Structure 1
Amino acid sequence: MLSCKLKIKQIAVFHTDTKIIFSILPKQKRSSCPLCNKYGNRIHSHYVRSLADLPISGKLVQLQLRARKFFCRNKSCPRKIFTERFSQDILPYARRLCRSIDVLRSIGLEVGGNKGALISRIAGNPVSSSTILRLIQQLEIEGTTTTSGVIGVDDWAFKKGRNYGTIIVDLERKKVVDLLPDREADTLKQWLLKHPEIHTVSRDRASAYSKGTKEGTKEAIEVADRYHLHVNLRDAFKRVLHKHSTTLKAAFIAFSRPGNREPLLEEEKARSLPTPKCTSNSQRQMKFEKAKELHQQGYRIKTIAKMLQAGPRTIGKYIQHDEFPKRQAPVPQVTMTNFHEFREYLPKFYGKQDYPTLYKNIRDKGFNGKYTQFCSNMNQFIKPDSDNIFLPKLSPIKTWSTSKISFMVLQPEDRLKKTDQAFLKFLYNKAPEIKAAVEMAVQFKSLFKNKEEGPLESWLTRALQPESELRSFAQGVKHDYSAINQVVISVISNGQVEGQVNKLKNIKRMMYGRANFPLLKKMVLHESMVHQK
């Protein structure tokens, strides 16, 4: 069973239901001192040493080795007595044979500590997760000493939003070169100074990476990350949509009209309550105003919630407040008004004008109450009676979030749903300023296709004009012009780095919080070496 290279002999075998025990004796006549390497053959004493081996037919295997202690023959050696050493398979102080250690370590490197402990138990060689992690930590794995000269740099999160590290990938060999414990410019600089062969760096758009690359290399070519450029472009366009939230809200309502999208009229803006100063979400603002309008027409909360695709509790909260964001509605004064004088006038315009417009009209005609008193009287006046409780069925109002629209405008038209295509055409027709921003964004995205010098400078000239909606984004592009221009003219991409970051995340999650930086680094570098082979 044991390797023939081990100088031991078997003297007895014991069996139980779960374990096989081998009693063995060493055959070597002498052993070298671990300090002075002098051989000693005079025995001082002996003790029994237990060693675990690979399982046999699902049973645990244990070796009971009668290890000896020798006197050191070197009188000047500080160690007078030492335990005999074996050249192979048995390490000093080890509790199992080397082949058992290699199997457990391989399992741990593949699936981590907890899963590795589970698999080892199923395989008949049970150990704890801490043992597997300890075996991995004993393994010496270092980063690559030389690279191809073209690397990619990106950050990854120890814990998102708190602390980050840096991953460095050889883009030509497609393997992880090293991990850095932070994303500071000086750390990257010191690493680059040890690798003078690097001439091209594809990096995240973080200023720290830009600074570290410039200080750590001699005029290395910097290439910005194309993915993050697209993310920055979408974020810039979302700010444009927030800026035109009133127009976007009116487009939602007009687009959802029966008869397919009547033109936006000026009076459409007057059919909604005044827009709060703090609103940043046109979609929620539109639902708030529409919910109040429908409730005033007599529709139930469940019907409104279904039509607006919102929860009943949300609609109930909207109805209880007069303004958005939520504010406590003023308590109406209990005073008499002359509302009864307008009971014949109001039905002619109900359904054609909203409450603010009706209130303004009767106010001009002599109504002496406040707006809250008007609403209270109006709700009682139009409350459906038992003979007229069925109101016309309302069609849902289709809305899109600003994030969804920012994705839609940068997609080819043939990839969009017909409803999305129709809405974008409708929006472009009614909001020329949004259409101009979309055209500018699409032009920027198309710069990466032809790999030609010059188009980026022409685009910047147009985008930096005072009337441009993407002017702030263009200023950021101008600040990092050389790296972004390399994206336009070069085929180098940071996509390989993003893939390696995803692998790193999977490894980090396997460790269940036990993956401190040295352990995680060994796991990632081992995974990269195995993949490279």
Structure 2
Amino acid sequence: MGAAVRISARCTAPGSACPACGARSTRVHSRYLRRLADAPAGAQATAIDLLVRRFFCDNDDCPKRTFAEQVDQLTFRHGRRTLTLQRLLERLALALGGQGGSRMAGHLPVAVSGTTLLRQVHRLDVPDAEAVEVLGIDEFSFRRGRTFGAILIDMKTRKPVDVLPDHTSQTFAAWLREHPTVTLVCRDRGGAFADGAQRGRPGIPQVADRWHLLDNLATAVEKALRRHRRCLQPPQQPAAAEQDPVPAPDSDAQERVRDRWAQVQTRRQRGQQIQLISDELGLDRKTVRRYYHAEHVDEVLRTRTSRASRLDPFTTYLTARWEEGCDNAQTLRDEIAVRGYLGGRKSVRRFLNALAQRRGPLPAAEPPLKVSDVARTIIGRSENQTETARQNLKDLCDRCEHTRETTRLARRFATMLRRLDGHRFTQWLADADASQVKELHTFAAGIRKDLAAVTAGLTTHWNSGPVEGNVTRIKLLKRQSYGRAGFPLLRRRILLAD
């Protein structure tokens, strides 16, 4: 029918089962036409005109006297859509939300509003949390920095099992009491979840997340490096030896003198006299005589003598400052003004330009190392580091004892974390306490408050990576709702979306 497909069908089964008591009946009460929207066929809207029957229920104990038959895998009670289309719209609503799902459905094409899609999500049943042995938990924000919830993950299947309306220890403890199958909790370094696990299941093993441990270590290393920021500045290179000045290029007048001297000398070698040369070249006889008797062009080139300048007494100072790396004319003018200079900035600028032309440009000053780059080199994997970064760190450690000690301890901890060498953790704590790096003292003191969980994190293979991945997924689901989704809707999308 134009841009749509219409299918006419009828039920041919001899009977149907009562939805209330299950008794089958073959006595037809009446028939009526049901129009069902179906999934599109060939990018065309599809509908099914289905002739269905209403049967009598012959079970005297059944509260229903009549019932309408349902077609398996096609219809459901009070449904205006087929099961295929209904499931498709539910998937769209869970994945894209209301408005996004409505726009996508329009391309199928299926006409449905965003509000209708959200109603489909609200009607879905949320399954009860299955038996979980290894549980992962982390917080996420409903409104950044204001209200928070918590997501619970089955670490074996890496799928969410429940969502809590807040991230308090009381709520988490109550959930653990209702689920006694949990034998291990993976969490971050937050104290609320540690306290909640202890309240809900006293003595339950807990595992601290290794990424958060590495992040805490990076923070401590950056603080230690900032305290010795001066060491990050590369040492100044000794001033280069005085080079012979590069001769300045000839001016246009000097080029003309060289050309005329060459022409005169060429005619002289031919045996021509001064008068004849003067007539041919159109030059004065005295000029030709001077070029004629000069054995080298330098004899006729005039050397320009510079006039006395107010800057002359300060040229030595300006040259020294230029070699130190200062080429700002205004800065140098202010410095020599204190010493008695009365001229302006332009004279200083011309002198610096001439100095650079004779000796070449100054090498660019090497920038100081960035704290974040050095910290990344210290705790990062060696295979991911460039040769330049490794050499910069080596030079920094050679000139700074504090950085060398920080690097040694931080790399030991990072290696221990990656290799799960938790049996060496006690010795590392003792070495950190004996070091002179107070930032690592603070880091070690914080670890001791959560020693059992940290030791487990450095020993077992369990980690909170799957939890962090689900938190990232929650951020996407939140943004699709533009901040207008309440907790019931968001919880259903988190638990039911693929």
TM-score of the pair, normalised by structure 2: 0.67
* CA distance 1:21–1:492, change in 2 (3 Å): closer
**Deviation of the 1:399 alpha carbon:** 3.5
Q: Within 2, Cα distance between the matches of 1:241 and 1:458?
A: 24
Distance 2:81 2:118 in 1: 15
Match of 1:456 in 2: 425
Asked if residue 177 in structure 1 is aligned to residue 177 in structure 2, the reply is: no
Does 1:20 pair with 2:1?
Answer: no
2:248 counterpart of 1:245: no
1:277-309 Cα deviation digits (max 9, x unpaired) = xxxxxxxxxxxxxxxxxxxxxxxxxxxxxxxxx
Within 1, Cα distance between the matches of 2:497 and 2:458? 32
Distance 1:514 1:418 in 2: 50
Cα 1:90–1:398, aligned 2, differ >3 Å: closer, same or farther?
Answer: same
Match of 1:153 in 2: 137
3-state secondary structure, aligned to 1:489 = coil
Q: 1:170 to 1:397 in 2, by over 3 A?
A: same
Q: Shift in Å at residue 517 of structure 1?
A: 2.9
Among 465, 475, 480, the residue aligned to 1:505: 475
Question: Which amino acid in 2 is paired with 1:433?
Answer: H
Q: From the superposition, tell whether residues 255 and 475 of structure 1 become closer, same or farther in structure 2 (CA, over 3 Å).
A: farther
SS class of match (1:395): coil
Q: Where does the alignment leave 5 or more consecutive residues of structure 1 unmatched?
A: 1-14, 260-341, 355-369, 529-533
1:481 to 441, 447, 451: 451
2:393 aligned with 1:424, yes or no?
A: yes
C-alpha separation between the residues in 1 aligned to 2:231 and 2:319? 23
Match of 1:101 among 86, 91, 106: 86
Aligned partner of 1:393 in structure 2 is: 362
User: Which stretch of structure 1 is more off in the superposition, 117-126 or 404-413?
Assistant: 117-126
Say yes or no: does 1:492 pair with 2:462. yes
Query: Relative to structure 1, is the Cα distance of residues 394 and 481 closer, same or farther in structure 2, using a 3 angstrom cutoff?
Result: same
Q: 1:211 aligns with which of 182, 195, 204?
A: 195
C-alpha distance in structure 2 between counterparts of 1:416 and 1:25, whole Å:
70
- The answer to whether the 8 Å contact 1:51/1:64 transfers is yes
Larger radius of gyration: 2
Classify 1:405/1:21 alpha carbon distance in 2 versus 1 (closer, same or farther; 3 Å): same
Q: Per-residue CA shift, 1:218-273, capped at 9, x if unaligned?
A: 3111111100000011111111122222333xx24x267888xxxxxxxxxxxxxx
Change (3 A) 1:71 1:514: farther
Equivalent pair of 2:11/2:53 in contact (CA under 8 Å): no
State whether structure 2 residue 105 is matched by structure 1 residue 120.
yes
Equivalent residue, structure 2, for 1:317: none
Q: Indicate the residue corresponding to 2:40 in structure 1.
A: 55
Quote the Cα distance in structure 1 between the aligned partners of 2:18 and 2:418.
69
Question: What does residue 200 of structure 1 align with?
Answer: 184
For residues 377 and 62 of structure 1, the distance between their equivalents in structure 2, rounded to whole angstroms, comes to 95
- What corresponds to 1:434 in structure 2? 403
Amino acid at match of 2:372: S
CA distance in 2, matches of 1:122, 1:380: 72
CA shift for structure 1 position 375: 9.8
Whether the aligned pair in 1 keeps the contact of 2:311 and 2:348 (CA below 8 Å) is no
Instruction: Return closer, same or farther for 1:431/1:31 CA change in 2, 3 Å cut-off.
Output: closer
- Asked whether 1:186 is paired with 2:174, we answer no
- Counterparts in 2 of 1:65 and 1:221: CA distance versus 1, 3 Å: same
Counterpart in 1 of 2:294? none
The match for 1:142 is 127
Q: Counterpart amino acid of 2:379?
A: L
Deviation of 1:501 after TM superposition, in Å, equals 2.7
3-state SS of 1:161 partner: coil
Listed as ranges, the matches of 1:344-383 within 5 Å are 347-350=315-318, 352=320, 374=338, 380=344, 383=347
Gap change, CA 1:351 and 1:189, over 3 Å in 2: farther
Query: Aligned partners of 2:342, 2:172: CA distance in 1, in Å?
Result: 69
Contact 2:172–2:196 (CA under 8 A) maintained in structure 1: yes
Larger fraction in helix = 2
Look up the match of 2:255.
none
Aligned pair in 2 of structure 1 residues 60, 217: CA closer, same or farther (>3 Å)? same
Give the equivalent residue in structure 1 for 2:285: none
- 1:211 deviation in Å? 0.6
Shift of 1:196: 1.4
Change (3 A) 1:234 1:451: closer
Distance across 2 between alignment mates of 1:466 and 1:59: 74
- Indicate conservation of the 8 Å contact 1:444/1:459, yes or no: yes
Q: Which residue of the partner structure matches residue 227 of structure 1?
A: 211
Name the Cα RMSD after superposition: 4.6
Checking the alignment, whether the CA contact within 8 Å between 2:56 and 2:67 is kept in structure 1 is no
Q: Deviations over 1:128-148 (max 9, x none)?
A: 33322322221112242311x
Corresponding position of 2:373:
404
Q: 1:119 to 1:257 in 2, by over 3 A?
A: farther
Which amino acid is 1:205 matched to?
R
1:443 alignment partner, one of 412, 419, 428? 412
Residues 26 and 65 of structure 1 are in contact (CA less than 8 Å); yes or no, is this contact kept in structure 2? Answer: no
Deviates more, 1:411-420 or 1:151-160: 411-420
Contact 1:464 1:471 in 2 (8 A): yes
CA distance in 2 between counterparts of 1:46 and 1:87 reads 14
- Closer, same or farther: CA 58–87 of 1 in aligned 2, 3 Å: closer
Give the Cα separation in 2 of the matches to 1:169 and 1:495. 11
* Conserved 8 A contact 2:53-2:69: no
Name which of structure 1's ranges 217-226 and 152-161 shifts more when overlaid on structure 2: 152-161
Q: Secondary structure at the match of 1:153?
A: strand
Q: Which of 139, 145, 148 is the equivalent residue of 1:164? A: 148
Distance 1:142 1:56 in 2: 32
Among 348, 359, 372, the alignment partner of 1:384 is: 348
Whole-angstrom CA distance in 2 between matches of 1:452 and 1:17: 67
Asked whether the equivalents of residues 256 and 398 of structure 1 are also in contact (C-alpha less than 8 Å), the reply is no
Whether 2:496 is the aligned partner of 1:517: answer: no
What residue identity is the alignment partner of 2:6?
A: I
Aligned to 1:357: none
Q: Secondary structure at the match of 2:157?
A: coil
Q: CA deviation at 1:59?
A: 3.4
